[in-house]
Amino acid sequence: MKKVLALVLTIVMVLSIVGCAKPAEPANGGAEQPASSGETAAAPKYKIAIYTGTVSQNEEEFRSMEAAAKKYPGMIVSQTYPDSFTTEQETLISNAVGLVSDPDVKVLIMNQAVQGAAAAFEKVREARPDVLILAYQPGETDIIAAKADVIINGDEVAQGYKIVEQAKKLGAKTFIHYSFPRHMSYPLIVQRREIIVSECERLGIKFVDATAPDPAGDASITGAQQFILEDVPRKVAEYGKDTNFFSTNCGMQEPLIKSCVEQGAINAQQCCPSPFHGYPGALGISVEGHSGDSEYMVEQIKAKLAEAGVSGRFSSYAFPLAMVSTAAFVEYGRMYCEGQLKDRNDPEALHKCFDEVSEGYKIYFDNYKTADKDNKTVVQENFYLVLADYITF
């Protein structure tokens, strides 16, 4: 994991956005570089496409694509979907189809698999039924299992219990839950919220629903972030500093952490727990000149929070699950291309790929479960929920 994150932190300073369906350029301008392990990865005869959001939506996912391109020069092709993907569905779909128009592309990874991914995957299947489709953090939870070959999602149901338990440990007396109607149509997010409500009641924490602007809507990401910066101080004035703030949206994490630090409030977990999610920007942590790893970032966060006098009021996972998932998917895709999988959904191989890129950090796997028309439990065998332990800063 340290090697993967060292690579990501080196690449994170690259500011260029990759173009449409072309090989992603490494940071040195195109010359092949050795993989982070010290081994030079020769370009194979197949390609893997990675489809992500832009840096403004969630930098981790974009940088994880860059890390893959750096590790495997010439193998990775890439594209970003529009920030306003809810209103630009045609572009989202056409970009996905464009990625697999190259017959050498054998794998499509989408991180995050936002709303519209299901339709995009259908079109990809029509054009290229041979392509392996791998999706991370789907927005269309209950239909995505039939559209993709393997799906990974943070275990948001289990997080419902874990977040409140952790918030209580950090001293929370109130729990603010920021979201908006689009996100509250996602089954896993809805289930997590219901659990948070019940757990807050059980542990004696006041739960407060707070509606924020949708960054994919008219307010845009800028408007949503400005709302958070203005609303957190209002909430602290009303409920006090022993308030835990949580938002379901990636783009809100940086201003949320920044405001929590300034107000002395609590942040037990981001929507996508990771030391890289929101913290560097919120705390002004520079990665320039460092070939560091997650341990470096954790120590930097601890130092900044101690300096601000808010130690022990923030926590997250010790590693970035979104980045690890892209890295694991790339290895899984390589196994598919090289005929090493037992099936398109090969749980043993998938776990092996996660173990390979996480280097010792424990990841817990479960399967997503739904109910059929007779209310009987249906296990989605190709839809995996993942969880990890907290680290308190």
pLDDT of residue 31: 31
pLDDT of residue 43: 57
Which residues contact residue 251 at a Cβ distance below 8 angstroms, ignoring those fewer than 6 apart? 56, 57, 58, 215, 221, 224, 225
Q: Tell me which fold the domain 2-155+321-382 belongs to.
A: Rossmann fold (3.40.50)
pLDDT of residue 309: 98
Same fold, 2-155+321-382 and 156-317: yes
Q: Out of 35-49, 65-79, 102-116, which region has the weakest mean confidence (pLDDT)?
A: 35-49
pLDDT of residue 28: 32
Q: Are strands 206-211 and 364-371 parallel, antiparallel or unpaired?
A: unpaired
Percentage of the chain beyond pLDDT 70 is: 87
Q: Are 141 and 188 in contact (CB under 8 A)?
A: yes
Query: 287 falls in which pLDDT band (50, 70, 90)?
Result: low
- pLDDT: which is higher, 64 or 171: 171
Q: For the CA atoms of the chain, what is the radius of gyration?
A: 20
- pLDDT: which is higher, 359 or 128: 128
pLDDT of residue 288: 61
- Alpha-carbon torsion, ordered 88, 279, 361, 80, to 10 deg: 20
Query: 35 falls in which pLDDT band (50, 70, 90)?
Result: very low
Q: Is the pLDDT of residue 203 over 90?
A: yes
- Alpha-carbon torsion, ordered 263, 268, 273, 275, to 10 deg: 60
- pLDDT tens string 21-31: 334 433 333 33
DSSP 160-207: HHHHHHHHHHTT-SEEEEEE-TTGGGSHHHHHHHHHHHHHHHHHT-EE
Architecture of domain 156-317: 3-Layer(aba) Sandwich (3.40)
- pLDDT tens string 145-183: 999 999 999 998 899 999 999 999 999 999 999 999 999
Sign of the CA dihedral with 37 first, then 10, 78, and 64 last: positive
Helices (H), 72-155: 89-99, 117-127, 141-144
Query: 15 falls in which pLDDT band (50, 70, 90)?
Result: very low
Domain extents in the chain: 2-155+321-382, 156-317
